[in-house]
C-alpha cells in the first residue's frame, strides 16, 4: 500500500510539473509579430486605342488613312501603350489636307509619306505646360529621326510650331493623359527634309486702305472751292455799279 501511495504521489507530482512547465512556456513565449498587409499594385494605365480615338474625335479621317496605309499607326500604337516615354501626336483635321494645294502630297513616294506621318509625333509624352520649356531650347527631333525636327514657341500659353514650310499652332487638346498626348493642329506639318529648303516667303499683309483727306478750310472758314465764285461775283457787282455812276455823272453834265 505504501508503494502504491508513493507511486500515486509521484504521478500526481509529475503531472503538476508538466502542467506548470507548459504554462510557463506559454507565458514566456513572445507574442508573434503582426503581419503588415501587402500594398496593392498601382493600376496600369488605360489602353489607348488610337484608331477609335481619331475616329471619334475628328474629323481626322485623312490623317488616319495615311497612318494605316503606311503602317505608322502600329508604330504609334506600340509607342503609346508599351513604352515608358509615351508619345505626343499632332493631328491635322481633314480641312487642313483639303486646303493643301502647293506642295501637294500626291507626288510623294510611299517612304516619303511614311516619314511625313512620323514627322507628326514626338517620341515622348508632353503636356501643354511642357512646351514652354521646349520653346526655350533648340529644335526637337520627331519620330521621323534626324533631320526631321520641329521648333516650338510659347506665346502666352498658345503653342506655336514651325517646320520651315509650316507655321501653325495647337488649336485644341484631343487627349492628354500620361503617357499619351494627342493635339489638333491647323495645318499639315511639312518637313524640309522632303520638300527642300526653297520655302516660299510668307505673304505680307495687305495694306490698309488710305482715306482721302478732306479739303482744308480757308482762313475765313469757307472752303477753297467757294472762294473763286465769291470773288468773281464781287467783280461783277463792282462793274455794274461803276457803269451806273458814269451814266449818272454824264446826265448831270448834260443838264449843266
What is the distance between the alpha carbons of residues 171 and 190, in angstroms, rounded to a whole number? 18
Residue 185 host element (H or E): strand 180-185
| Average predicted confidence (pLDDT) for the chain | 79
Q: Which phi-psi region, left, alpha or beta, contains residue 229 (left: φ > 0; alpha: ψ -120 to 50)?
A: alpha
User: How large is the average pLDDT for residues 249-256?
Assistant: 56
Paired with 178 in beta bridges are none
The confidence score (pLDDT) of residue 226 equals 45
Rounded CA Rg of the chain: 48
Q: Specify the pLDDT at position 18.
A: 56
510539473: which residue's cell?
17
Q: Classify strands 180-185 and 87-92 as parallel, antiparallel or unpaired.
A: parallel
Please give the Cα distance from 238 to 134 (Å, whole number).
86
Give residue 103's pLDDT band: very low, low, confident or very high (50, 70, 90).
confident
Q: Judge whether residue 105 has pLDDT over 50.
A: yes
Q: What is the mean pLDDT of residues 116-131?
A: 96
Q: Residue 139 half-sphere exposure, CB side, CA atoms within 13 Å?
A: 13
Q: Is the pTM of this model over 0.75?
A: no
Q: Give the whole-number percent of the chain exceeding pLDDT 90.
A: 50
Handedness of CA 12, 18, 23, 24 (dihedral sign): positive
Question: Does 134 have pLDDT greater than 60?
Answer: yes
The answer to whether 199 touches 165, Cβ cutoff 8 Å, is yes
Residue 39's pLDDT is 65
Instruction: Report the alpha-carbon distance of residue 175 to residue 184 in Å, rounded.
Output: 9
Amino acid at each position: 500500500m505504501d508503494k502504491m501511495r508513493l507511486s500515486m504521489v509521484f504521478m500526481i507530482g509529475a503531472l503538476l510539473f508538466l502542467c506548470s512547465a507548459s504554462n510557463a512556456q506559454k507565458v514566456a513565449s513572445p507574442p508573434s509579430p503582426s503581419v503588415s498587409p501587402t500594398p496593392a499594385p498601382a493600376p496600369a494605365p488605360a489602353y489607348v486605342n488610337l484608331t477609335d480615338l481619331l475616329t471619334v474625335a475628328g474629323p481626322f479621317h485623312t490623317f488616319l488613312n495615311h497612318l494605316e496605309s503606311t503602317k505608322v499607326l502600329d508604330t504609334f500604337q506600340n509607342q503609346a501603350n508599351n513604352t515608358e516615354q509615351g508619345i505626343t501626336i499632332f493631328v491635322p483635321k481633314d480641312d487642313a489636307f483639303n486646303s493643301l494645294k502647293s506642295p501637294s502630297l500626291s507626288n510623294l513616294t510611299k517612304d516619303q509619306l511614311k516619314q511625313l506621318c512620323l514627322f507628326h509625333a514626338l517620341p515622348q509624352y508632353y503636356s501643354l505646360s511642357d512646351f514652354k520649356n521646349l520653346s526655350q531650347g533648340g529644335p526637337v527631333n520627331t519620330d521621323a529621326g534626324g533631320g526631321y525636327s520641329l521648333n516650338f514657341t510659347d506665346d502666352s500659353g498658345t503653342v506655336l510650331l514651325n517646320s520651315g514650310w509650316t507655321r501653325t499652332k495647337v488649336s485644341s487638346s484631343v487627349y492628354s493623359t500620361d503617357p499619351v498626348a494627342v493635339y489638333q493642329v491647323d495645318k499639315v506639318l511639312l518637313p524640309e527634309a522632303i520638300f527642300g529648303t526653297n520655302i516660299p516667303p510668307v505673304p505680307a499683309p495687305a495694306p490698309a486702305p488710305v482715306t482721302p483727306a478732306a479739303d482744308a478750310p480757308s482762313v475765313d472758314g469757307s472752303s477753297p472751292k467757294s472762294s473763286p465764285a465769291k470773288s468773281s461775283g464781287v467783280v461783277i457787282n463792282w462793274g455794274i455799279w461803276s457803269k451806273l455812276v458814269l451814266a449818272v455823272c454824264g446826265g448831270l453834265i448834260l443838264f449843266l
